[in-house]
C-alpha cells in the first residue's frame, strides 16, 4: 500500500540513496537495519519530505504520488514520522506536545486511545516534555505522530538512549499500535533484539542500498548481526 520506487537522495553532490525500491504491506511492521551512516535517517527524511528526492523518484501512498508534495500534504495522506532523537518540544507540556499533532486533524482534544496505550502521558500531562525520561519522551513522540491517524508510521531508532528494560515493552507497544489501528510501521533500528520482537520483515541498509531482506519466518539473526557489527 506504500510504494517507493527508484528513490534518489543527495546532499549537494553527494549521493546517499540511489535507486532504492521498497514496498510496505498493510499492517506490516518492517525493520530497516544498518550501522550508523548507512542512510536510514536520510531515507526517512526524504519519505516525509524534509529532504527532496531526485527526478524519477516515486513515493506513493496507495495511488497518491507524494514525492513532490510538501510534508504537511504527506501527513494528510497518512504518513507520520517520529524523528531520531524524538525532537519533542521540551518547554511545552506533555499534553500540548501531543496537541501539536492534532493541528493537522479535525479533532480538538487528545483521543482516549493515546492514554490507553501510554497511561504515563496522562499522569504527566502537565509536566514539561523536557522533564520526562528518554522512554517517556519516546512514547510522547509516538503519541504525537499517532494522533494524525497515520496509515504509515516511520520510527527512526526509537530505542536509542532508552533503558534495556523498557526496550522489550516498546516492541510490544508497536505490535499493539499495529493491531489497534491497522497502521503499517517502518522502524529504523540497530538493536536486533527489538527488531526480532516487533517486526515481520527485515531489511539491512549499507551505503544507501538494501543489501539484505528476509521475512520473520526465515530470518537469519546471525547474518543480520554481522551486518550490524562489521
Beta bridge partners of 20: 7
**222 Cβ neighbours under 8 A, 6+ residues apart:** none
- Choose, by CB under 6 A, the member of 2, 7, 8, 16 that binds ligand ADP: 16
Q: How far is the CB of 197 from Mg ion (least distance, A)?
A: 20
Determine what percent of the chain falls in helix, strand and coil, rounding each to the nearest 5: 40, 25, 35
Burial class of 116 by CB neighbour count within 10 A (0 to 12, 13 to 18, 19+): exposed
Residue 186: name the closest of 63, 11, 46 by CA.
46
Nearest-angstrom CA–CA distance, 152 and 171? 17
Does residue 41 bind Mg ion (CB under 5 A)? yes
Using the contact rule CB under 5 A, the part of the chain among 77-85, 137-145, 164-172, 217-225 near Mg ion is 77-85
Which 8-state DSSP code applies to residue 7? E
Q: Tell me how far apart the alpha carbons of residues 149 and 183 are, in angstroms, rounded to a whole number.
A: 9
Using rule CB under 5 A, residue 67 touches Mg ion? no
Instruction: Confirm or reject binding of residue 132 to ligand ADP (CB under 6 A).
Output: no
- Binding region for ligand ADP (CB under 6 A) out of 8-16, 96-104, 112-120, 164-172: 8-16
- According to CB under 6 A, which residues from 20 to 39 bind ligand ADP? 34, 36-39
Q: Of the listed pieces 18-26, 82-90, 164-172, 214-222, which binds Mg ion according to CB under 5 A? A: 82-90
Residues 77-106 that bind ligand ADP (CB under 6 A): none
Give strand pairing partners of 58. Answer: 5
Q: Does 57 engage in binding with Mg ion (CB under 5 A)?
A: no
* Binding-residue pattern over the window 89 to 128 for Mg ion, x denoting contact by CB under 5 A: ----------------------------------------
- CB 102 → Mg ion: shortest distance, Å? 27
Distance CA 169, CA 162 (A): 11
**Footprint of Mg ion on this chain (CB under 5 A)?**
40-41, 84
**Footprint of ligand ADP on this chain (CB under 6 A)?**
11, 14, 16, 34, 36-42
Amino acid at each position: 500500500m506504500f510504494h517507493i520506487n527508484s528513490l534518489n537522495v543527495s546532499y549537494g553532490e553527494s549521493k546517499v540513496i540511489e535507486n532504492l525500491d521498497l514496498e510496505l504491506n498493510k499492517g506490516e511492521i518492517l525493520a530497516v537495519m544498518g550501522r550508523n551512516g548507512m542512510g536510514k535517517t536520510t531515507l526517512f527524511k526524504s519519505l516525509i519530505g524534509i529532504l527532496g528526492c531526485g527526478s524519477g523518484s516515486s513515493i506513493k501512498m496507495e495511488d497518491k504520488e507524494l514525492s513532490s508534495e510538501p510534508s504537511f500534504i504527506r501527513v494528510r495522506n497518512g504518513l507520520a514520522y517520529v524523528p531520531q532523537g524524538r525532537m519533542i518540544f521540551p518547554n511545552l507540556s506533555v499534553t500540548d506536545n501531543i496537541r501539536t499533532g492534532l493541528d493537522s486533524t479535525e479533532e480538538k482534544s487528545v483521543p482516549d486511545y493515546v492514554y490507553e496505550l501510554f497511561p504515563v502521558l496522562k499522569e504527566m500531562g502537565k509536566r514539561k516534555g523536557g522533564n520526562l525520561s528518554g522512554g517517556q519522551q519516546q512514547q510522547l513522540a509516538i503519541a504525537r505522530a499517532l494522533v494524525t491517524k497515520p496509515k504509515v508510521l516511520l520510527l527512526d531508532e526509537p530505542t536509542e538512549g532508552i533503558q534495556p528494560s523498557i526496550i522489550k515493552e516498546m516492541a510490544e507497544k508497536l505490535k499493539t499500535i499495529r493491531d489497534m489501528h491497522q497502521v503499517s510501521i517502518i522502524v529504523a533500528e540497530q538493536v536486533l533484539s527489538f527488531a526480532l520482537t516487533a517486526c515481520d520483515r527485515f531489511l539491512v541498509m549499507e551505503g544507501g542500498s538494501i543489501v539484505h531482506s528476509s521475512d520473520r519466518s526465515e530470518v537469519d539473526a546471525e547474518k543480520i548481526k554481522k551486518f550490524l557489527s562489521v
